[in-house]
Amino acid sequence: MGTLADFDLRHLIADFSCAHLLVLGIADGRSLAEALRHDFTRILAVEPAHPIALEAALRHASEPRLTVIHEPVERGLERALGELPKQSPALFWLDLPPLERQLRTIAAGRDIGRDILIIDDLNLHEDGDYEEEPADDAKRPRDRGRKSGLIDGFLAGSHELQRFRRRGGYLMALPAGGGK
Amino acid sequence: MKDKAERCILYVPVFNRRAIASESLTNLRTVKGAAHLCIEDDASTEFDGTLFADLGDSYIRHPSNLGIDATRMAQLEAFLASPFDHCYFTDSDTVHDPEFLSRLFQMLERTGCVSCLYNTSTGYHKDQFNIDVGDDIVLRCSIPGVSMFFDKPLAARIWQYYQDGLRFRPDFLKEQRSWDWMYCDVFPQVAFSRVSFVEHLYAGGLHAHGRDAAVNPTPYLIAEGARLRRKLRLYGPGAPIAESARPGRVSP
């Protein structure tokens, strides 16, 4: 399980004018807590599991920048996309299965050319030499190897893709040619 | 200063990470003055031949990968047998300030200790007991790692410790977590500059991402660090996986 703390959020926000964050999957809450330490003007967190959503909402109740959306993934994502300003670059933290549907929904909902996307637990989606294997092997899609081109298919045309070995693997998609 | 620099050798090992190594070695080439820059390619797999040969005063490519521990010990042995008086170990993912060498000589002359220009406040350096010896230098028991400057007597003590370990302690190599821990065993105090003259751009995701960035960097390091962060897009945890290293991709 990864965390946003592995990324240089301060400079991502500054260099890409990335003031909004959309978190898909709160998990243990570490990424959300890390995000709240930084200068995002708005954070939207979609969480389908009720106990996790409730815990996060209560823990950060005094934080006006944060909205926790407790909905099934796709519906919650559509709602969150509707609340994001279209013209302002956003950072997406993708930490929920199934990835393909999330990418389709995001791409259909906005022009992502200036957005940054970070995919956690890349070992669930692509073969590779990562620090960690999936904790629950059953979560790994059977056709992971065949689908290794999935992310490239969505993002390679508009973004520069960086993959990292750290923990279960990350993919970070930065706007091609973007940034200050 | 020029005379001293001419008798100083800088050892920089390279293994893959082409983009950052190119920037780092170019920087070192620019700021090193009269010092001798020796680049050792530890059998990189992502490029071949003598990619960085023109940047070094000498260039060695290993026929097979030795790893950093063996490479560093071989460099130590080579330095002891060389005509050089001083030696500096650094990595190929760094940026150095143009004044780094004069600061190293100043620190070594002032303290007589292995000297380091990379000051950090987290990781291994956290909660250290610092002895302030003036001139913005503190002594602390820590790992100099990415920035390590010494003369022959200091190098000889490390080499002796290494040889004695191999001779008398069957588990010596297993006990050593990595080559630079030996410096902690031998030297209880390393001299650290309060002002950092080196930025360590990444190593396993620990460095230069806000948690282990150089403390009090020089204005040059601030400007160069920002330029390289944007140019090389250094926002993630460590070095990205090279395209050629991904499953199904073919190495050049």
pLDDT at B155: 95
The predicted model gives A8-32 an average pLDDT of 95
pLDDT at A115 over 50: yes
* Full pLDDT tens readout for chain B, 252 residues: 789 999 999 999 999 888 899 999 999 999 999 999 999 999 998 887 678 999 999 999 999 999 988 899 999 999 999 999 999 999 999 999 999 999 999 999 999 999 999 988 765 556 667 889 999 999 988 888 899 999 999 999 999 988 888 888 888 777 766 777 777 788 888 999 999 999 988 754 555 555 578 889 999 999 998 899 899 898 988 878 877 777 665 443
**CB atoms near residue A124 (< 10 Å):** 18
Residue B248: list chain A partners with CB under 8 A: 148
CA distance B183 to B185: 5
pLDDT at A142: 57
> What six digits make up the tokens of A170?
């990350």
A13 touches chain B (CB under 8 A): no
When mean pLDDT is compared over A2-6, A150-154, B179-183, the highest value belongs to: A2-6
> What six digits make up the tokens of B86?
């001083």
pLDDT at B250: 47
Dihedral, CA of residue B170, residue B172, residue B173 and residue B176, to nearest 10: 160
CA distance B194 to B154: 22
Q: Is the pTM of this model over 0.80?
A: yes
Helix axes A9-16, B219-232, angle to 10 degrees: 70
Q: Which has the higher per-residue pLDDT, A180 or A4?
A: A4
A109 touches chain B (CB under 8 A): no
Whether the CB-CB separation of B234 and B201 falls below 8 Å is answered with yes
DSSP strand pairing (B86-90 vs B147-151) = antiparallel
Instruction: Specify the CATH number for B2-238; select among 3.40.190.120, 3.90.1150.10, 3.90.550.10, 2.40.50.360.
Output: 3.90.550.10
CA distance A135 to A124: 10
pLDDT at B204: 47
For an interface test with B, the pick among A1, A9, A10, A11 (most B C-beta atoms closer than 10 Å) comes out as A11
Residue A15: list chain B partners with CB under 8 A: 229-230, 235
Domains of chain A are: 4-175 (3.40.50.150)
B19 touches chain A (CB under 8 A): no
Strands in B70-180 per DSSP E: 86-90, 94-96, 115-116, 131-134, 137-140, 147-151
Burial B173-195 (b: 16+ CB within 10 A, else e): eeebeebbebbbeebebbbbbeb
A12 touches chain B (CB under 8 A): yes
For an interface test with A, the pick among B46, B241, B244 (most A C-beta atoms closer than 10 Å) comes out as B241
pLDDT at A147 over 90: no
The predicted model gives A36-52 an average pLDDT of 97
Whether the CB-CB separation of A79 and A69 falls below 8 Å is answered with yes
CA distance B205 to B203: 5
ipTM for this model: 0.91
